[in-house]
Amino acid sequence: MWVVGEAGGGSGSNSGMDTNLLFTTALGLQPPWEVKSLEFKAFEHRLDILVDFQRGASFPCPVCGKPSKAHDTEEKTWRHLDFFQHAAYLTARVPRCNCEEHGVKSVEVPWGRKGSGFTLLFEALIMVLVREMPVNAVARLVGEHDTRIWRVLNHHAEEARAKLDFSQVQTICVDEKSYRRGHNYVTFFMDLDLRRLMFGTEGKDGNTLAAFVEDLKAHQGSAEQIRDVCCDMSPAFQTGIRVHLPKAEITLDRFHLMKLMNDALDAVRRAESPTTPGLKKTRYHWLRNPGNLTKTQKARLRELKALNLQTVEAYQMKLLLQDFFEQPNRRAGSVFLNDWCTLASASGIEPLVRLAATFQAHRRGILNWWRSQISNGLIEGINSLIQAAIAKARGYRNPRNLISIAYLIAGKLDFNTAPTLNGLPT
């Protein structure tokens, strides 16, 4: 271990170099702040930097900025960027100033934010790392508990979001995502024009729409400006949209319609499997598009199509439904939908009968696609990225962390306000 005191000069050095002044400059500190001493603990791989303020110094009141004298001090420590491969810590007496107008207030130090425990530059390093690797991996890399890393990420995500302007948003999509076992969900709202994640909140009921509107207002937006919303057939979403977004038209997601069709097809297959052994292990034969099947799968389907099966009839109805969105206009789409629902109902196959009734009950939202041309394809792609992040992180303990990661992935947030000390990077 070696120590450099106020006299300057490294231990055993005759160069006359003032090491404290060197570190003061390197840290970008400005009067009245300066480095008073350094303590290097080689065996602990640690460097302690003691920062203090000059005697008699005045500090701006955190409320009004008026210069005030120090009332008392409290010693605090911040983790700083590593000094080569050694952990560096900055310790300082933080004064409380006595403002004539606002009383005793804690002074804001230029190298760190209140309550963080990290310097701004260390937080900047964390934000760079969490873009590239899971938070628990970052925590191991820097030698900190992942809870502290999450606090940094959550703070800067919220701070960056506070700068966003949603006043021009008119077209959105909404979708929920499960993040843990036991029906734990978060709901995401995307701006389809700018292709960015706007808002995430816990739950998947109508209250998520109320929370979205409050967030919209906090970012210079209003509920009345939203004209089109794409969502699935969730009654909670649709009711919430009608209540909280009164000017919005609902477009039902085309991919969700095909998912419902695939669910009905698979229900038919499962019902027939006990009496038709050949249907076993063919689930994905029916769910995939014909062009994506292997030669073996195509041959198997040809064999099954020769049988008089309800599964085959349901499969043909699926292929027919795929032509629905190829219709040239809304009028043609309406005729097509009516004809398809008539055929599905006449088949007498219960899953298809129920699906036809569902489509007829939601026909306006389905047919709105020809006007809005919007879908949840974008948010589904984002969900895939989020799912990959969940897999890498092996799950998330709370929804706030998942939402922050989603903002980092798809929020198009501006983190290019890299912290510096009084404008001087280190």
Same structural domain, 331 and 381: no
Question: Is the pLDDT at 211 greater than 90, yes or no?
Answer: yes
256 within 8 A of 355, measured Cβ to Cβ: no
Q: Which residues contact 140 (CB under 8 A, 6 or more apart)?
A: none
Find, among 309, 372, 382, 316, the residue nearest to 343 by Cα.
Answer: 316
Q: Which residues contact 341 (CB under 8 A, 6 or more apart)?
A: 356, 357, 359, 360
The pTM score is: 0.82
Same structural domain, 243 and 284: no
Task: Evaluate whether residue 327 is within a structural domain.
Answer: yes
Same structural domain, 44 and 190: no
Find, among 138, 162, 163, 164, the residue nearest to 150 by Cα.
Answer: 138
Same structural domain, 268 and 249: no
What strand order describes the sheet that includes 249-252? 196-202, 184-191, 171-180, 228-231, 249-252
CATH number at 387 reads 3.30.420.10
Task: Evaluate whether residue 425 is within a structural domain.
Answer: no
C-alpha distances in Å from residue 279, one per residue of 295, 307, 315, 345:
17, 11, 13, 24
Q: Which residue has the higher pLDDT, 66 or 367?
A: 367
Q: Identify whether 32 is preceded by a cis peptide bond (ω within 30 of 0).
A: yes
Task: Evaluate whether residue 396 is within a structural domain.
Answer: yes
Same structural domain, 245 and 384: yes
The pLDDT value recorded for residue 317 is 96
Which residue range(s) make up the domain with 268?
254-372
Task: Evaluate whether residue 192 is within a structural domain.
Answer: yes
Structural domain tally of the chain? 3
Question: Is the pLDDT at 418 greater than 70, yes or no?
Answer: no
Same structural domain, 311 and 404: no
Task: Evaluate whether residue 148 is within a structural domain.
Answer: no
Distance between alpha carbon 121 and the CA centroid of its chain, in Å? Answer: 23
Same structural domain, 259 and 368: yes
Same structural domain, 107 and 240: no
Question: Is the pLDDT at 425 greater than 80, yes or no?
Answer: no
Same structural domain, 225 and 303: no
Task: Evaluate whether residue 159 is within a structural domain.
Answer: no
Same structural domain, 199 and 262: no
Q: Which residue has the higher pLDDT, 391 or 418?
A: 391
Find, among 177, 167, 123, the residue nearest to 399 by Cα.
Answer: 177
Task: Evaluate whether residue 150 is within a structural domain.
Answer: no
Beta bridge partner(s), residue 196: 191
The type of residue at 17 is: M
Question: Is the pLDDT at 142 greater than 50, yes or no?
Answer: yes
Same structural domain, 382 and 362: no
Task: Evaluate whether residue 120 is within a structural domain.
Answer: no
Mean pLDDT of 355-379: 93
Q: How many percent of the chain have pLDDT more than 90?
A: 54
pLDDT band at 407 (very low <50, low <70, confident <90, very high): very high
Same structural domain, 276 and 247: no
